[in-house]
Amino acid sequence: MAATVPEYVDPLLRGQISAAALLGVNIMAVDKQLYDVNLTLLTAIGMIMKALNDHGVVLDAEWQTRLNGALAGTWPTWVITQVPPPS
């Protein structure tokens, strides 16, 4: 998938944009401060992904498969609507 942290952040952000759109949220239109906090979080995730890949723990193909699977999955309604989960 990538050799540098920013190269991991790119597909993470693209995936996040797609997932957020399903929830009716445009990440590119949120307040700049919120966007920067989000980008910082994605950078931390990217650093972990890169470290795991560099040490052969999780290969890039596996990351891509998991990201694609996350985007293709169906989320429970209560997660999307922020209603407490059923008992």
Kindly report, residue by residue over 6-53, the tens digit of the pLDDT.
999 999 999 999 888 888 899 999 999 999 999 999 999 999 999 999
The rounded Cα 28 to chain-centroid distance in angstroms is 14
**pLDDT confidence band for 1 (50 / 70 / 90):** low
Over its C-alpha atoms, the chain yields an Rg (Å, rounded) of: 15
Q: What is the pTM of this model?
A: 0.79
Q: How far apart are CA 48 and CA 42, in angstroms?
A: 10
Helix and strand numbers (H, E) in the chain are 4, 0
Contact 15, 71 (CB under 8 A): yes
